[in-house]
């Protein structure tokens, strides 16, 4: 089986590749900023399933950049599939912001969703549109789009952690949980769905203040002591340890 992963060098894409590399008989085609469109045109005929993670998430970007990265790329990919007369099951990582549509980012993700939903209905093929909350986990860039990764980076490097309201509610999902769920979609690629819009099965509800308190606790732990954490706290601690091991992570300010 051949799987196309767009945004293959990104946070979710790179974790997806690591997971799929441990599964037999899966060939991965990567598409990222270093891949030419001509190369994708040549390879798309071999693809059996698409994971579409490419896009722009950084809120500092302009409306035009969001449109180009999130809407135009999705539309162009769908057009290419149809030109090749292929019908490929398709999973796209969208965002809870697409449902709210209160930001340029959210609006662009909603437009991309509509293109993909139409493609699925017209071709009668399974489509998964995951409206993801904030994602944390190994490999996420600090000072980019995840407050958790930024705060972990700052904690490890003795930098100030700034929060304006400790009581701000947050919903998080762990990248490894997301990847495992995405693999289940691949296994069910021949099964039609009643709705293409999905939220992760495992999410965690917390506050910014609670996250800060956890990180302070992690920093003060004795070396070689692994606490018996569970659920969200355990996964946050695993992420913290990963940043310590990868101390060469650059600051993306």
Domain assignments of the chain as residue spans, ordered by start: 2-245
The C-alpha torsion from 238 through 93 and 80 to 56, rounded to 10°, is -80
Instruction: Name the pTM for this structure.
Output: 0.90
7/118 Cα distance (integer angstroms): 22
Where in 146-233 does DSSP place strands (E)? 169-174, 197-198, 204-207
Sheet containing 204-207: which strands, arranged edge to edge?
Answer: 134-136, 169-174, 204-207
For residue 248, what pLDDT is reported? 53
4 backbone dihedrals φ, ψ, rounded to 5°:
-95, 130
φ/ψ bin of 231: left (φ > 0), alpha (ψ from -120 to 50), beta (otherwise): left
The tens-digit pLDDT sequence of the chain (253 residues) is 999 999 999 999 999 999 999 998 999 999 998 999 999 999 999 999 999 999 887 655 667 777 888 889 999 999 999 999 999 999 999 999 988 888 888 899 999 999 999 999 999 999 999 999 999 999 888 887 789 999 999 999 999 998 989 999 999 999 999 999 999 999 998 888 888 999 999 999 999 999 999 999 999 886 667 788 999 999 999 999 999 887 555 443 3
Q: What are the beta bridge partners of residue 136?
A: 174
For residue 251, what pLDDT is reported? 44
For residue 80, what pLDDT is reported? 96
130 backbone dihedrals φ, ψ, rounded to 5°:
-90, 115
Fold of 2-245: Rossmann fold (3.40.50)
Q: Contact 198/130 with Cβ under 8 angstroms?
A: yes
């Amino acid at each position: 089986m051949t799987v196309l992963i767009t945004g293959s060098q990104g946070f979710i894409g790179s974790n997806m590749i690591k997971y799929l590399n441990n599964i037999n008989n899966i060939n991965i085609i990567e598409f990222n900023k270093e891949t030419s469109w001509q190369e994708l045109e040549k390879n798309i005929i071999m693809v059996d399933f698409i994971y579409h993670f490419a896009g722009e998430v950084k809120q500092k970007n302009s409306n035009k950049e969001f449109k180009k990265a999130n809407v135009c790329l999705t539309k162009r990919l769908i057009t290419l599939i149809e030109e090749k007369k292929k019908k490929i099951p398709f999973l796209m990582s969208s965002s809870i912001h697409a449902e709210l549509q209160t930001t340029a980012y959210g609006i662009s993700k909603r437009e991309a969703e509509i293109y993909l939903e139409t493609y699925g209905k017209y071709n009668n093929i399974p489509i998964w549109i995951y409206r993801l909350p904030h994602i944390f986990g190994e490999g996420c860039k600090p000072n980019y789009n995840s407050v958790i990764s930024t705060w972990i980076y700052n904690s490890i490097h003795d930098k100030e952690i700034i929060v304006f309201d400790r009581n701000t509610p947050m919903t998080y999902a762990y990248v490894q949980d997301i990847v495992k769920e995405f693999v289940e979609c691949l296994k069910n690629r021949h099964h039609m769905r009643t709705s293409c819009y999905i939220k992760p099965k495992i999410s965690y509800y917390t506050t910014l203040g609670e996250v800060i308190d956890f990180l302070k606790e992690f920093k003060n732990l004795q070396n070689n002591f692994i606490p018996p954490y569970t659920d969200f706290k355990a996964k946050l601690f695993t992420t913290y340890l990963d940043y310590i091991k990868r101390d060469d992570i650059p600051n993306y300010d």
